[in-house]
Amino acid sequence: MSADARISELNLELPPAPKPGGVYQPVVRVGNMLYVSGHGPLKSDKTLITGKVGTDLSQEEAYQAARQVGLAILATLRQSLGSLDRVTRLVKSLGMVNATPDFGEHPAVINGYSDLMRDVFGDDAGVGARSAVGMGSLPGNISVEIEAIFEIAD
């Protein structure tokens, strides 16, 4: 099943593709690689999920925030490529969690994003290399930020 069809089948609502908040491109293509700039947990109403994991958000709420980041990345990919079916595989992701110093479950939070990518692109193409780290703060106090690299077909 195609990625675009999975979006419909899973009843996923993509937010509007976010606009850059600084001097950068949301996506840069080099050959058949697509480098996606850091995205935050943008919701369909254009608000962001904010707060520090461990005080303002629970681990489960942060998991959902990471999933929302994934939806924002999918929106950017679709806007850039015209179709998610052009993605051949997720190569690498870096997940950053705005967390208290004693919070240590960063990988479990970023699984919200990784589970979504697997659901949309499949077990092989949707599971790539990944890092998940904690941060003392993130821009605008967003709870999660993720950047990714995808391989695409012409």
**What CATH number should be reported for the domain holding residue 118?**
3.30.1330.40
Q: Is the pLDDT of residue 9 over 90?
A: yes
73 falls within a domain:
yes
Residue 19 to residue 1: CA distance in whole angstroms: 30
Q: What is the mean pLDDT of the chain?
A: 97
Rounded mean pLDDT, 108-124: 97
Domain span holding position 86: 3-13+24-152
pLDDT confidence of 154, banded at 50, 70, 90? confident
pLDDT confidence of 52, banded at 50, 70, 90? very high
C-alpha triplet 36, 57, 66: angle, nearest 5°: 20
19 falls within a domain:
no
pLDDT confidence of 1, banded at 50, 70, 90? confident
Q: Is the pLDDT of residue 21 over 90?
A: no
18 falls within a domain:
no
What's the total number of domains in the chain? 1
Rounded mean pLDDT, 4-9: 94
Rounded mean pLDDT, 81-97: 97
What percent of the chain stands above pLDDT 70? 100
134 falls within a domain:
yes
Cα distances from 71 to residues 43, 54, 120, in angstroms, run 9, 23, 10
Tokens of 106: 């960063």
Say what the pLDDT of residue 84 is.
97
Q: Partners of 133 in the beta sheet?
A: 96
